[in-house]
Amino acid sequence: MTDVTLHIDDSGIPEGGDGRTVVLIHGWPLSAESWDAQTEALVAAGHRVVAYDRRGFGRSSKPEEGYDYDTFAADLDSVLTQLDLTDVTLVGFSMGGGEVARYVAGHGQDRVRSVVFAAAVPPFLMQGDDNPEGPLTKEAFQEMRGGLEADRDAFFDEFTTGFFSTAEGIQVSEEQRQEALALAKQSSQTAALGAMDAWATTDFRDDLDAITVPTLVIHGDGDQTVPLEGSGARTAAAIEGSELHVIEGGPHGCNVSHAEEFNRVLLDFLQR
């Protein structure tokens, strides 16, 4: 496997804070910068915030291989090990929720205090005979993948619009959408396609069974990218004792469109 350097943003321990660490794992096809609204609020509340760019995205290395969840989870493990982080809360947004599930299943919970799935892809997006509740049909996936292959710029323009939209229309400013679009364009095409394959086709149902730490699921009920009923609601049902918070009118990118509510719910969970 090619050596990979991951770009890590580490706030350090805020002055006067207890230093308890929150690790933020971004969604596809963005980078750690997509967490800016959360980072500011978490640091202000006294938390150490660590966020990193997934391999192939943002400011991290862009290898030609390693775009599968076992490797993504190993990359997360390398971040926690490198910084010697313990008692952490892992927050996975969208495809980042897959890293959380696969990390716990493969690497255990010794370093983990709690986990958060935010608009996340588990338990299993791809619809099939053994997963009839999966919200993503094979036909829709092939159309999406073909669009990215055929015209990357046009695809990302359309995708970021849907990312922040509900049936009532787009829920963020054009400036905010453009910021996400710029982050998407930092990805390599190999990474964008490989990671798309991973989040669309990976089954996390067994991984969720390994989670026993306190768990929060946050999801918008207007999410058109990763619909609530086929993902967040099922994840909450699968993890005993988990808490589900539904953001009314929230699109997929609810951490931006509804940042105040998202941050309030997350901070409340972290105080327990």
| Catalytic center residues | 94, 223, 252
Helix (H) or strand (E) holding 113: strand 112-118
In sequence order, what DSSP letters do the residues of 4-28 get, joined into one string?
----EEE--PPTTS---EEEEE--T
Q: Quote the CA–CA distance of 169 and 268 in Å, as a whole number.
A: 29
In contact, 107 and 118? CB cutoff 8 Å: no
Question: What angle in degrees, to the nearest 10, is found between the helix axes of 138-150 and 189-201?
Answer: 180
In contact, 202 and 136? CB cutoff 8 Å: no
Structure tokens at 20: 């308890």
